[in-house]
Amino acid sequence: MPAFIPKAPYTGPVQAVVLDWAGTAVDYGCMGPAAVFVRVFEQFGITVSVSDTRQFMGLEKKQHIRSMCGLPGTAAQWREKYGRAPDENDVEALYAETEPMMIAAITTHADPIPGLLPFVDGLRERHIKIGSSTGYTAPMMAVLVPKAAKRGYTPDCVVCSSDVPAGRPFPWMCYQNAIRLQVFPFESMIKIGDTISDIQEGRNAGMWTIGLTQSGNELGLPQDMVEALSPDDKDRRLAVIEARYREAGAHYVAKGIWECLELVDDISRRLEKGEHPLLET
């Protein structure tokens, strides 16, 4: 592995994949976090919708709350109830309720998404390291990681938003994965996630990116409800999500982790030809 600025394109294989957690690796539909935010705001007398919560999913949880407080509807309700706009003290108060509720929700939303374990096996066979990043904090991950391990999923590296100066869309969690996994250069890494902020994080880190349309936050439905959709309705919804991912700069789009191994192989072939993620869309 070079310890100097390369003078030629990297032509080696994919060395590592960084997976998001909820909606990508576990918790089909990213159901746990969305419900928590709705309940937290209810405790303060504020009504928010699931769609309000989902537009900021993937961010560090305190930033998620801060962003929700900035929504016109939320701010208007807050002013009507409390006589002022929500401030940073309110964000802290909301977060104090969020963390224990999120930890409780995680315990029932740790099942691997179908296709995850075969995908992991495929990466292992290819000697590709497995990292992870998340908007969850360390106390949340202290619950989720062992729950996922009991169900067969243990990545090589776990980095959460509280481990770095700022969460997504900043690239710091991806960089921390690279450090802990000892992987370089960044174009030999792939970021896979189910939110716009996942795509932004991976692009900002100089990695290849894969956005997941069906299993995660953007569609926001559990597996049984997805399977109940008519083919035309599902295709229409997924097409809208794909367009948003493409606009955000995703290099690839897949329905779920079960479709990603062949994309990893395609990226390896492109790397062999000297292609670079910063020059491709």
End-to-end CA distance of the chain, in Å? 27
Concerning whether 266 is annotated as a catalytic residue, the answer is no
> Which residue in the block uniquely carries the two structure tokens 């069906």?
214
Instruction: Walk me through the domains of the chain, giving residue ranges and CATH numbers.
Output: 16-31+110-279 (3.40.50.1000), 33-106 (1.10.150.240)
pLDDT at 72 over 60: yes
Average pLDDT across the chain, whole number: 93
Task: Select which of 61, 129, 191, 255 is catalytic.
Answer: 61
DSSP state of 162: G
What is the band of 2 on the pLDDT scale with cuts at 50, 70, 90? low
Contact call for residues 5 and 58 (beta carbons, < 8 A): no
SS3 197: helix
Pairing of strands 189-193, 159-160: unpaired
Concerning whether 147 is annotated as a catalytic residue, the answer is no
- Which carries the bigger pLDDT value, residue 135 or residue 14? 14
Contact call for residues 133 and 242 (beta carbons, < 8 A): no
Buried b (16+ CB within 10 A) or exposed e, 41-75: beeeebebeeebbbbbbbbbbbbbbbbbbebeebb
Rg over CA atoms, the chain: 19
Tell me how far apart the alpha carbons of residues 67 and 61 are, in angstroms, rounded to a whole number: 10
Amino acid 224: pLDDT: 95
Task: Select which of 20, 52, 90, 198 is catalytic.
Answer: 20
Torsion over CA of 140, 70, 217 and 186, rounded to 10 degrees?
A: -70
What is the band of 33 on the pLDDT scale with cuts at 50, 70, 90? confident
Per-residue pLDDT reduced to its tens digit, 267-280:
999 999 999 999 86
Per-residue pLDDT reduced to its tens digit, 115-140:
999 999 999 999 999 999 998 889 98
Torsion over CA of 134, 200, 187 and 160, rounded to 10 degrees?
A: -20
The whole-number average pLDDT for the span 157-172 is: 93
pLDDT at 27 over 70: yes
Answer whether the bond into residue 169 is a cis peptide, omega within 30°. Answer: yes
Per-residue pLDDT reduced to its tens digit, 220-275:
999 999 999 999 999 999 999 999 999 999 999 999 999 999 999 999 999 999 99
What is the band of 170 on the pLDDT scale with cuts at 50, 70, 90? very high
What is the band of 199 on the pLDDT scale with cuts at 50, 70, 90? very high
